[in-house]
Structure 1
Amino acid sequence: MKLGFDLSLKQKQKLIMTNQLIQGINILQYNTIELGEYINQEMEKNPLLEKEETSVDAGEGEVNWLEFVKNTNKTHEHSQPYSDDEEKNVIENVKCMEESLKEILIGQLHVLNLSEEDYGVGEFIIDFIDERGYLSAEPEEMAQMIKVPVTKVIKLVNLIRRFEPSGVGGRNLRECLKIQLINMNHFDDMLFHIIDEHLEDIGYNRDQKLMKELDLDKEDISYYRELLKSLDPKPGLKYCEEEPDYVIPDIFVEVIDDKVSVTMNDHYVPRLKINSYYQSLLQKGGDEKTTEFIKSGLNSASFVINSILQRKETVKNIAQLLFEKQVDFLRSGEGYIKPMTLKEIAEVLEIHESTVSRAIKNKYAVTPRGIYSLKHFFTTGLASQEGEDVSAVKIKDIIKDLISKENKKKPYSDQNITDILKEKGYTISRRTVAKYRENLNILSTRERKEA
């Protein structure tokens, strides 16, 4: 056997999430207030950025900085759709869904000794944790979106699942409960099996079924039930009281001459330009270090301005298409919301579903029917017997109405409601009825009767 050293070149593909990629993703998901705060922070860090009545059109990629300076007078118009007095009416009595939980999780993330890339991936994952504490995206989806190995995402998801509040980061109720048990070092295969396969049975006190199928006695079942009751099914909700009380809408929607008009709210977004002092320094020339500093600042400023403009275009395009499809809602109200999916919007605009998801996150629209979260309009659909698509919102309204008018001494069961809906022409499973009822925070048949 011949042993020796050898030098060779190998081509290898490696996925790296840059700070600019993270920054661009964050800018897209910012609502109006968050974007204004972000711009103020960037101006503090980058002396080349300053507020102005006009902003600079930044191109993609590397900036030709001399050409950039020559064209700083080019403007981008930003509309101001309402006055200060009108603004007070817009924000009145509208609940906000800002993420105070997010700050708590990010604070715990940055206590750990991680690489800069891991901090970025961790913050990206935390963005997908909703107000309940549930993770709303699969690791494979997130890895694809930010172009990092899925193993890295899974590693950081598992890390975040050890944070407080315990149970955060689970994708559903079952994962949430199991995470809490694992964090308590409580490993019990039977209990995990109950959570996976018999959670409804133990919740509805179906003890005979549990005793028969799991070979347990009443004491065991009682012990498991009390242990599960001690866990928090929605650990993130305890932080809701700390959330802001109001939102500023991001979009204004009108129907003018049968056409949907969408206007972006740029009232809180400062217009940006390049600082004139640094322009003069570049034009005069100077030492190499100064030139490099200014060039770096120009590239950073270019990226910020370009990302803000791209965010505006993306959000406006999505909102325009969304409300064109929901024109019946704009004219007639909630009962006329049509089923829509992120995929449907993404395919028409030729963008990724994840882009739509992030663009509508925490965004609100003022419509002729009131102020609504953009997420409100992405509902699953059911088909009536006539073949018409009916939104889940409409089905929920029917369920709510049925229960409000029921005989309180003999309330409807989920199966009763399923049968009534079928008579009305809506084919829906009993399990879906139960899910919708729970979403409406309506008690079960037994609990309504007892109440």
Structure 2
Amino acid sequence: MAISLNTRVSQTVNLTPQLQQSIRLLQLSNSELEQELAKAAEDNPLIEFEPNPEIESNLSQSSERIETNQNSWANNRISQDDDEEWGERYERIAHKQTLLEYLDEQVHLLNIDPKEQSLIAYIAGCLDERGYLPEDLEAIQADIGTQIDGANSRDSIQNALAKLQSLDPPGIGARDLAECLSLQIDRILENAKSDRPSWELARYIVTSHLSKVGSKDWQKIKQASGKSEAEVLKAVELIRTLQHNPGSQFERENDQWVLPDVVVNLKQNRWVVESNPNAKPRLSLNNEYARILKENGQKNIDGVLKQKMLEASWLVKNIVQREETILRVAQAIVVRQQQFFSMGAIGMKPLVLREIAEELEMHESTISRVTTQKYLACQLGIFEFKYFFSSQVSSEKGGGISSTAVQALIKKIVEEESAGKPISDTQIAQLLSDQGYIIARRTVAKYRDILRIPPVHLRKQ
């Protein structure tokens, strides 16, 4: 094999340490940035850093849980006549209790032995996010062992579970859906003055024929109960008013908590965005070190100290640049999505990263970093920047509509349908077509699944 030397010209990009740091900081969330700055302050005495108490506690007046299904916040039109400041609503949302906290308060009010209180609290800690008890009592008994003296017998655990199930919200501590619904019905029957026969039939159905309710097999329920179809349907309607997941109304301890980077408010009939002052990192150069360095002059500065000074200056400048970039991207998004903030998801316009990148003369990858784990707070809730980007669906009227808005339209159509005669995916596609939006039936089905809307045969009552 012959060995030869060749000359080749190529272009490469050398990232300076400052640029590498800038890119890394840009893709961090507020909580991750907090950790990064804390570490930098540990390593560099010239950096003054004050931890953000709101991020440290994960629960403050400026933080709120991010809903898994964010568009559930955005489907209601804002009332411009609402005289309550949205910030006050936002503050109350941020201070919801967790299910465990709520149960713990009730347990400590029970007039029972402290050992039994501890056992109930232990079982409460075993509940899942729905409020169900997924573990069987034998497993709990084995786990407890000797942790709670004299309270680890099967009977004591069974009695503790019964007391837990007597607490609010009704249905808490159930092992399955049938028990959850039965617990709620038993609570209603304790004080029922009307519809008692219907509630008793409802209890019989959930304990013996709940699967037939899912398949709408009214005939078999009629035969088994000896009741008329009208009586069965009334009982089923009562069952539908019950809560399937009693713990869902509470905050979950493992939910993601964030501090919004920017806040959107209405000013002079325009939605405008501003940086959230509570989210700004408390970072600066150490004044005493800076003074000493200035007095001694650059020539007399020790090499290591000089490097530390440069690193501290880079970090402060990159943090400022990060804030400016996030704000610029947020402003560009808000300008294009004005209707969303007034109308909710139905007013969302199609938007792709490339449009914002071209407008701000940035690379798409930069926009992608800025829109990931960066959050915007408005009257509708808190949304990740990425939420405002969606594909375009063709319209006969020219232009297009965003897929997010189409989903909002589908949800609205289903909400307004007749319970006895729900609308099929084909009919929904036709209704959208009548409004000028060309949507295939399979696309309607896909969006319906995303929205967790059951198919037509399961919506029929």
TM-score (normalised: structure 1): 0.51
- In structure 2, give the amino acid aligned to 1:258: N
Equivalent residue for 2:275? 264
Residue 36 of structure 2 is aligned to residue 38 of structure 1: yes
Structure 1 position 39, deviation (Å): 1.5
Q: Distance in 1 between matches of 2:325 and 2:43?
A: 26
Equivalent residue for 1:91? 63
Equivalent residue for 1:361? 372
Equivalent residue for 2:312? 301
Q: Distance in 2 between matches of 1:4 and 1:439?
A: 61
Q: 1:440 aligns with which of 451, 454, 457?
A: 451
C-alpha spacing 1:432/1:272, structure 2 compared with 1 (3 Å):
same
- Helix, strand or coil for the counterpart of 1:361? coil
* TM-superposition CA deviations, 1:356-390 (whole Å, max 9, x none): 11111112212233322222211222243322532
Structure 1 position 283, deviation (Å): 4.6
Question: Does the 8 A contact of 2:66 with 2:383 survive in 1?
Answer: no
* TM-superposition CA deviations, 1:165-212 (whole Å, max 9, x none): xxxxxxxxxxxxxxxxxxxxxxxxxxxxxxxxxxxxxxxxxxxxxxxx
C-alpha spacing 1:8/1:282, structure 2 compared with 1 (3 Å):
farther
Question: Does the 8 A contact of 2:350 with 2:392 survive in 1?
Answer: yes
Structure 1 position 256, deviation (Å): 1.0
Structure 1 position 269, deviation (Å): 3.2
Q: Distance in 1 between matches of 2:436 and 2:9?
A: 61
Question: Does the 8 A contact of 1:33 with 1:268 survive in 2?
Answer: no
- In structure 2, give the amino acid aligned to 1:376: Y
Question: Does the 8 A contact of 1:43 with 1:49 survive in 2?
Answer: yes
- Helix, strand or coil for the counterpart of 1:390? strand
Structure 1 position 335, deviation (Å): 2.0
Structure 1 position 414, deviation (Å): 3.2
Q: Distance in 1 between matches of 2:299 and 2:443?
A: 67
Question: Does the 8 A contact of 1:285 with 1:291 survive in 2?
Answer: no
Structure 1 position 443, deviation (Å): 3.7
Question: Does the 8 A contact of 2:49 with 2:284 survive in 1?
Answer: yes
Identity of aligned residues (%): 34
Equivalent residue for 2:385? 374
Residue 336 of structure 2 is aligned to residue 315 of structure 1: no
Q: 2:24 aligns with which of 23, 26, 32?
A: 26
- How do residues 270-309 of structure 1 correspond to structure 2 at under 5 angstroms? 270-279=281-290, 282-283=293-294, 291-309=302-320
Structure 1 position 334, deviation (Å): 2.9
C-alpha spacing 1:96/1:282, structure 2 compared with 1 (3 Å):
farther
Equivalent residue for 1:421? 432
C-alpha spacing 1:345/1:332, structure 2 compared with 1 (3 Å):
same
Question: Does the 8 A contact of 2:264 with 2:377 survive in 1?
Answer: yes
Q: Distance in 1 between matches of 2:283 and 2:253?
A: 32
- In structure 1, give the amino acid aligned to 2:38: N
State the number of aligned residues.
Answer: 274
Structure 2: segments with no counterpart, 5+ residues = 70-251
C-alpha spacing 1:416/1:303, structure 2 compared with 1 (3 Å):
same
Q: Distance in 1 between matches of 2:300 and 2:5?
A: 37
Equivalent residue for 1:389? 400
- In structure 2, give the amino acid aligned to 1:47: P
- How do residues 79-118 of structure 1 correspond to structure 2 at under 5 angstroms? 88-95=60-67
Q: Distance in 2 between matches of 1:394 and 1:7?
A: 60
Equivalent residue for 1:333? 344
Q: Distance in 2 between matches of 1:443 and 1:273?
A: 54
Question: Does the 8 A contact of 1:341 with 1:379 survive in 2?
Answer: yes
Q: Distance in 2 between matches of 1:91 and 1:273?
A: 24
Segment of structure 1 superposing worse, 374-383 or 408-417: 408-417
Q: Distance in 1 between matches of 2:253 and 2:20?
A: 27
Structure 1 position 417, deviation (Å): 2.5
Structure 1 position 254, deviation (Å): 1.3
Q: Distance in 2 between matches of 1:382 and 1:281?
A: 62
Question: Does the 8 A contact of 2:263 with 2:275 survive in 1?
Answer: yes
C-alpha spacing 1:8/1:407, structure 2 compared with 1 (3 Å):
closer
Equivalent residue for 2:129? none
Q: 1:48 aligns with which of 37, 46, 49?
A: 46
C-alpha spacing 1:348/1:283, structure 2 compared with 1 (3 Å):
closer
* TM-superposition CA deviations, 1:72-110 (whole Å, max 9, x none): xxxxxxxx9x9xxxx94443554489xxxxxxxxxxxxx
- How do residues 111-190 of structure 1 correspond to structure 2 at under 5 angstroms? none
C-alpha spacing 1:327/1:398, structure 2 compared with 1 (3 Å):
closer
C-alpha spacing 1:374/1:9, structure 2 compared with 1 (3 Å):
closer
- In structure 1, give the amino acid aligned to 2:289: Y
Question: Does the 8 A contact of 1:36 with 1:269 survive in 2?
Answer: no
- Helix, strand or coil for the counterpart of 1:267? helix
Equivalent residue for 1:247? 258
Structure 1 position 248, deviation (Å): 1.4
Q: Distance in 1 between matches of 2:419 and 2:343?
A: 32
- In structure 2, give the amino acid aligned to 1:351: M
Q: Distance in 2 between matches of 1:372 and 1:8?
A: 54
Q: Distance in 2 between matches of 1:18 and 1:372?
A: 33
- In structure 2, give the amino acid aligned to 1:358: R
* TM-superposition CA deviations, 1:327-365 (whole Å, max 9, x none): 222233332222211111111111111211111111221
